[in-house]
Amino acid sequence: MEKYIEPTPTTTESLMMYIADRIIDTRGNIIRINQNIISLEKDYEEAQSNKSEWARLIDDKRLELENYEFRLDWLQTRLEELHNLV
């Protein structure tokens, strides 16, 4: 039984193998970078959504505060009227 001996690659073949390996590595890196970009885009969209949610909550609280300020003004006016009556 003859043992198969793989021929030593020529300089051109070695270069082609090296380039093929680099292409595979590069494709893997591109996939990883794309996944990172997609993840960052999702995080950005979530942050924008949270920002909108916070803005809505702040507006709600501001309106609630304005309502209480109106009530306070009304009560102070009533209190002054009662003081004037007494």
Model confidence over 26-62: pLDDT tens digits? 999 999 999 999 999 999 999 998 888 889 989 999 9
Q: C-alpha distances in angstroms, 71 versus 61, 62, 74, 76, 77?
A: 15, 14, 5, 9, 10
Dihedral sign, CA of 66, 68, 71, 72?
A: negative
Count Cβ neighbours within 10 Å for each residue of 8-23 and write b for 16 or more, e otherwise.
eeeeeeeeeeeeeeee
Place of tokens 């916070």: 54
pLDDT reported for residue 67: 93
* Spatial distance between the Cα atoms of 84 and 79, rounded to a whole number of angstroms: 9
Res. 7 pLDDT band, cuts 50 70 90? low
On whether the pTM is more than 0.75, the answer is no
